Structure 1
Amino acid sequence: MPSVTVLYNDGTVSHETFSVTKEALPNPKRVFVIPDPADKLVQIREIIAALQAGNIPLLFDGAMKSGDEKGRVLAQCNPDHYDELEDAAALFYTSGTSGNSIAVVKTRRELSSETEVHAEWMKEERFEQCLVTVPFFHIYGFLFGLSLPNALNLPIVTKEHFLPNEILDLCAKKPTLCITNPVFIRAMLRYNEKISLAETLFISSSGPLESHEAERFEAKYSTRLIQLFGSTETGGIALRQGGDLIWKPLCGVEISSDQGVLAVTSPFVSRSIFDNVFRPLPSLFRTTDIIEMMPDGFKIIGRAAELVKIGGKRLSIVEIERFIESMEGIDEALGTVEYHSNTLRGEVLTLSLVGDRDKINTTTLKKALHDYFGGIHIESKILMVEAIAKTALGKKIRAQLFTDVTHFPGKAHKVAGTDVPTTP
């Protein structure tokens, strides 16, 4: 790895060059390592040191409390006691949409084989830096923010906390591979100044952008945007560029439809996960994504874990949230559905909203929901909240999507998705 430059919020800059070996050094007694999350440069240094020593870094998002707790418990164990860790390189904690964190075991072969595939399709590119706006403890940030720049011999530039204009300014200085996510793409779309970034390639993951958002972004900045689809368990599955609707599988990845649900076979799929005990994963990994197969790939219809049935119709909670967020005065929305089994009310959609209270009319909002979703009567409650809890990658934290209750104890001063109160 040529170098890593970290820009700090106080204006200081740290620069360090790392030496990376292809294979781990012999280590007769491996240990678990939790890299320091407080400083990106320190975290990178500790991740690389662990990998080189043959130790196993435990990588998790501090915003996901269950992952933090489980990681620290596992860190007290001896990895030599587990046969499943014989060739493990790192454990990545992920919660997916369930809220229950699990540790996904990744081997050196799985990580390096995916890195080689991405390096191959980028081999004609001529970048001078890799700008990383995502955390390194996530599989996406690890692969694209550390492993891929190392394979491409690119200096890494990152920052503790980015603003949209800072990303644009850094990309405008030289040909850049920018590793980012939908949150930053949408934020940059709102930025008024028009800058040509024809020599920059943006990679986005952690959630799909709408087709029109990707098209607008490419047109606004005269640039290219490629989205990556995958998960911690599967690794990368497919790519799509700009406003394309079809996801095209990566080299070596075989996809199929198992009763409408995406199934994957690839050299990147993990062989085991840890959730109090180690459990093997099948070589044909069945995801929770509902798809439509196409001649050269697939379209994603929705994620099974984010689909709810209201009024007898299956709806995507994500689609509901995006529709609500398009309305005036609403910045963010988080939806949950309650099923009142002891009453005649049936399903109740609770929407926790962040925005301008003076511009939000609940009657208008409910009518818009009714009209948009084909006249379905959606019993709904509206809560105004200060913030919606998110992971470091910008994903909304969903503690539970569908509950069977007789009373919803939500309060407007709570942070949606967590039990942590905020200042009213």
Structure 2
Amino acid sequence: MNIIYINNDGERVDRELEHLQAEQTIAASSEATFDAHTKPELFALLHKAVDQGVTPVLFDNKVDIISERVKQLGIKAYSEQNETPVLPLSAYALFFTSGTTGVPTGAIKSRENIQGELDALQEIFAPEAFERVIVTVPFIHIYGFLSGLMLPKRLGCEVLLKEEYYPQELTTLHEGRKTLVVTSPVYIKALLRLNREQELGNVVFLSSTGLLGEEEVARFEKQYNTRLLQLFGSTETGGVAIKRGTYPHWEPLKGVLVGKNHESRLVVDSPFLSTHLFEESVTLMKRPYTTTDIIDLDGKTFKLLGRVNEIIKVSGKRISIVELENLIENELGAAEVLIGIKKENGRLKD
């Protein structure tokens, strides 16, 4: 698989993945942490890790609480040897929720979780016969790992990475090839702000980590003569459903069963559900899994109506309202705090 990397000076490097040499080799350990590496280095290292049977532990090392959680597990850096396994033997990868507030949860995925979800994604995207995948999202989260790292390998596509992306570059980096852009709502909203029409009939955009309104999707598809798909899921559940353009319903991925409980909260039973969760300790994850999303079922599809008010997403990161209220009360001495949410569609970030 070919990887194209462009740095901020515009220098471009084209290499076959197997020839992309890393500065350090992966130890023959059962677990290895990956955090502060540039995109091409991490891309190559993760492929090597998976190929060599190493369980990658992926996290943002700028979030201190997650770094501490990794230390609690006793997992060493990828260049060091772990004397004994500290994760279940079935662990194929470990991802963390954002950890911006509260205690982040670690979601442990098995090989079957990852391969099964890749099968489902491949079924959706293989018929498109993409030649190139442009990736704007980080590989340390499950969306970037699956859709930006593992899926292109499955599809036999070259991957284009850039040190930093300016939104307008996403309209030219396809270079006329049939291209999939793996991105997030922030980039979609930024492209809408350019307020110019462009022909991108050869490009399909995949967005996740946050939801786009139907009006935004309609404007985007018309403005760029393109197609936009949204992938819905979470670190714990893996991919759940896909939404095509302005079609109002979410279609569950192949193998995913959805329902709702008495509060109309989404209940997911899926082969992609994490095998274990790392909260206070590593425990088996309950199946089926009830999310904080409120839905309206319509046969095998569903509409997302909102979220239970204790959890919101801001630019793809989950924030606990209760945690924020407690923090303000404890740190600022407020007697009682109630946080209300106001969505401004004109802002790039939700």
- TM-score, normalisation: structure 2: 0.83
Deviations 1:9-54 (A, max 9, x none): 122223332359xxxxxx9963432225231111112212222222
**Structure 1 pair 288/197, CA: closer, same or farther in 2 (3 Å)?**
same
The share of aligned pairs that are identical, in percent, is 36
Q: CA shift at 1:295, angstroms?
A: 2.4
Moved more, 36-45 or 97-106: 97-106
Distance across 1 between alignment mates of 2:210 and 2:52: 33
1:268 partnered with 2:192: no
* 1:193 alignment counterpart: 196
* 1:367 alignment counterpart: none
Distance across 1 between alignment mates of 2:274 and 2:210: 20
Deviations 1:265-316 (A, max 9, x none): 1111111011241011112111111111112411112221447xxxxxxxxx
**Structure 1 pair 132/186, CA: closer, same or farther in 2 (3 Å)?**
same
1:141 corresponds to which of 139, 144, 147: 144
Q: Counterpart amino acid of 1:9?
A: N
* 1:121 alignment counterpart: 124
Q: Which aligned runs of 4 or more in structure 1 are off by greater than 6 angstroms?
A: none
1:224 partnered with 2:227: yes
User: Contact 1:171 / 1:197 at 8 angstroms: preserved in 2?
Assistant: no
Q: Report the structure number with the largest CA radius of gyration.
A: 1
**Structure 1 pair 79/181, CA: closer, same or farther in 2 (3 Å)?**
farther
Distance across 2 between alignment mates of 1:396 and 1:252: 26
Distance across 1 between alignment mates of 2:174 and 2:317: 24
Q: CA shift at 1:91, angstroms?
A: 0.6
* 1:280 alignment counterpart: 284
* 2:153 alignment counterpart: 150
Q: CA shift at 1:79, angstroms?
A: 7.8
Q: CA shift at 1:406, angstroms?
A: 7.5
Q: Counterpart amino acid of 1:4?
A: I
* 1:245 alignment counterpart: 248
Distance across 2 between alignment mates of 1:274 and 1:184: 31
DSSP-derived class of the 2:17 partner: coil
RMSD: 2.7
Q: What does 1:11-90 align with in structure 2 at a 5 Å threshold?
A: 11-19=10-18, 30-76=29-75, 78=82, 80-82=84-86, 85-90=88-93
Q: What does 1:197-208 align with in structure 2 at a 5 Å threshold?
A: 197-208=200-211
Q: What does 1:277-356 align with in structure 2 at a 5 Å threshold?
A: 277-306=281-310
* 1:258 alignment counterpart: 261
Instruction: List runs of 5+ in structure 1 lacking aligned partners.
Output: 21-26, 308-316, 319-389, 411-424
Distance across 1 between alignment mates of 2:227 and 2:272: 26
Deviations 1:313-368 (A, max 9, x none): xxxx77xxxxxxxxxxxxxxxxxxxxxxxxxxxxxxxxxxxxxxxxxxxxxxxxxx
**Structure 1 pair 69/261, CA: closer, same or farther in 2 (3 Å)?**
same
Deviations 1:234-261 (A, max 9, x none): 1110111112221111111001111111
1:395 partnered with 2:347: no
Q: Counterpart amino acid of 1:38?
A: H
**Structure 1 pair 247/97, CA: closer, same or farther in 2 (3 Å)?**
farther
User: Contact 1:32 / 1:75 at 8 angstroms: preserved in 2?
Assistant: no
Q: Counterpart amino acid of 2:325?
A: F
**Structure 1 pair 141/13, CA: closer, same or farther in 2 (3 Å)?**
same
